[in-house]
Chains A and B, each alone.
Chain A
Amino acid sequence: DAGITQSPRHKVTETGTPVTLRCHQTENHRYMYWYRQDPGHGLRLIHYSYGVKDTDKGEVSDGYSVSRSKTEDFLLTLESATSSQTSVYFCAISGAGTSGSYEQYFGPGTRLTVT
């Protein structure tokens, strides 16, 4: 989990409430990602960032927004949490790789339960 922290690590919230998850890196990597992991689906990309204030949608972005005001922080917000957003959320980072190929480094995950 080199240089990546996620907070909180566990959260239980009620349907309809907003929730913000934080990813913090100390590696000064350019790219940051949010994934969710659900049984039977593997990991799916929610949003990603390719620089400060530069973000784009991934495969499952509906109901989520992100912000990146500093290189080291990438926030994921559930505008109005629903039970279908109960999941484990992983942040990942990547930087310069050889020959333009980028491996990713993952944080420890946040387990979110929406009741």
Chain B
Amino acid sequence: SQQGEEDPQALSIQEGENATMNCSYKTSINNLQWYRQNSGRGLVHLILIRSNEREKHSGRLRVTLDTSKKSSSLLITASRAADTASYFCATSYSGGGADGLTFGKGTHLIIQP
């Protein structure tokens, strides 16, 4: 399996703090994506970073990609209770949509009020 791996598996922080999650993968990629899943719901796309990009921002989210280390990180700043969810990284090898995504096992984030 070419599955990515998130680290840590679980993270509990206080509201207002920053949360950082990491993802490692095994082979060359076209892009890496982050998704959020609230309990019992489907996945929601958060951000996509291409292999030729190093950093990307979207609102309170910051994603970095280091292709030499085959790793990515997701930073959520000024966390809120509503950010409590599982976060998954997913890699695409062709980028063309025809190969599906390879997901990691996820980081479960709990924001304590």
Contact = CB atoms under 8 A, between A and B. Distances in A.
Contact of A104 (B30, B96, B101, B106): B101
Interface stretch (A13-21, A64-72, A75-83, A94-102): A94-102
Contact of B43 (A31, A41, A43): A43
Contacts of B33: 103-104
Contact of A42 (B3, B97, B98, B99): B3
A40 B50 contact: no
Interface residues of B, number: 28
A41 B104 CA distance: 8
Contact of A41 (B48, B98, B105): B105
Contact of B103 (A44, A97, A101, A108): A44
Interface residues of A, number: 32
A103 B45 CA distance: 7
Interface in A26-53: 30-31, 33, 35, 40-45, 48, 50
B97 A31 contact: yes
Contacts of A1: 42
Given A43-B88, A101-B48, A101-B92, A90 B42 contact: yes
B45 A48 contact: no
B41 interface: yes
Nearest to A40: B105
Given A40-B105, A101-B92, A94 B42 contact: no
11 contacts: A42-B104, A43-B43, A45-B100, A50-B97, A58-B100, A59-B102, A101-B30, A102-B95, A104-B43, A106-B43, A106-B44
Interface of A: 1, 30-31, 33, 35, 40-45, 48, 50, 56, 58-59, 90, 92, 94-95, 97, 99-109
